[in-house]
């Protein structure tokens, strides 16, 4: 596709429910990122993949958060036993380059986000 | 860890007026990105700056990175309603490779007709 797509766009979950958020990056993009954006704040990094390898998961807030990208393309962010503080917009971004490059290939292109509301 | 502070947090200007948004970093910037976000949408890439003193323009938007690479400004000339939204600066905290971005809190821009 032309850009990064995410689904669902909106998700309402009851506290304790598990959710799965999907990201389809731009075709051919090596790197994939997940960010969490609370209301009125800038996005905060969650995790990063280069192809299928998860190279950095330092931003995941707890072990209830799990991300995968098994074939190096589509990625899923799973949140188990959701809590109210998980309510946020979850943004996915992809970039053409892997590590060690510079310039425009590193530019991250963002999807529209999934707005998660936990009741 | 690197922190970015944007000012002002919100801005209301009359259509046709010029405006400037600032982004200040606690550490040297190795890559500075400007994005625009509309409510309910993702981030739209505007520009990326890497070199001290660099300046880039796209249509009526100009972004600059100072010589010391710790501050960037985004200037809009003759603002239009289409410029309304949230402007975010994001920094690459590493010397090489944009493995993750650290963002400012955003500046909400409103354009009054």
- Quick: pLDDT tens for B10-31: 999 999 999 999 999 988 887 8
Contact A97, B90 (CB under 8 A): no
Q: Is the pLDDT of residue B52 over 60?
A: yes
DSSP A45-110: EEEEEETTEEEE-TT--STTEEEE-TTSS-EEEEESS--GGG-EEEEEEEES--TT--GGGG--EE
Over residues B72-76, the mean pLDDT reads 97
Residues of A in contact with B42 (CB under 8 A): 4, 6, 91, 110-113
Task: State the average pLDDT for chain B.
Answer: 90
Interface test with B, best of A7, A37, A43 (most B CBs within 10 A): A43
pLDDT digits (tens, 9 = 90+) for B92-102: 876 454 478 99
Q: Which of B83, B52, B50 minimizes the C-alpha distance to B66?
A: B52
Q: A107–B102: do the CB atoms touch at under 8 Å?
A: no
Q: A110–B101: do the CB atoms touch at under 8 Å?
A: no
Say which of B96, B102, B104 has its CB closest to residue A102.
B96
Q: Is the pLDDT of residue B73 over 60?
A: yes
Burial readout B85-99 (b: 16 or more C-beta within 10 A, e: otherwise):
bbbbbbbbbeeebbb
Report residue A70's pLDDT band, with 50, 70 and 90 as the boundaries. very high
Interface test with A, best of B42, B106, B107 (most A CBs within 10 A): B42
């Amino acid at each position: 596709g032309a850009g990064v797509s995410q689904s669902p766009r909106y998700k309402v979950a009851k506290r304790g429910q598990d959710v799965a958020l999907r990201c389809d990056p731009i075709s051919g993009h090596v790197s994939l990122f997940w960010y969490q954006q609370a209301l009125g704040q800038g996005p905060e990094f969650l995790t990063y993949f280069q192809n299928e390898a998860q190279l950095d998961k330092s931003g995941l807030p707890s072990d209830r958060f799990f991300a995968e990208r098994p074939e190096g393309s589509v990625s899923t962010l799973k949140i188990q036993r959701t809590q109210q503080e998980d309510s946020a917009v979850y943004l996915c971004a992809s970039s053409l380059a892997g590590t060690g490059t510079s310039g425009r290939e590193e530019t991250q292109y963002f999807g529209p986000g999934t707005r998660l509301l936990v009741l | 860890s690197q922190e970015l502070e944007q000012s002002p947090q919100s801005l209301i200007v009359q259509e046709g007026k010029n405006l400037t948004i600032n982004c200040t970093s606690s550490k040297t910037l190795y890559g500075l990105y400007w994005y625009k976000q509309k409510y309910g949408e993702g981030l739209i890439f505007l520009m990326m700056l890497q070199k001290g003193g660099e300046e880039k323009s796209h249509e009526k938007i100009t972004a600059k990175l100072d010589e010391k690479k710790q501050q960037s400004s985004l200037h809009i000339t003759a603002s239009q309603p289409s410029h309304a939204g949230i402007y975010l600066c994001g920094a690459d905290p590493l010397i090489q490779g944009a493995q993750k971005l650290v963002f400012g809190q955003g500046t909400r821009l409103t354009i009054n007709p």
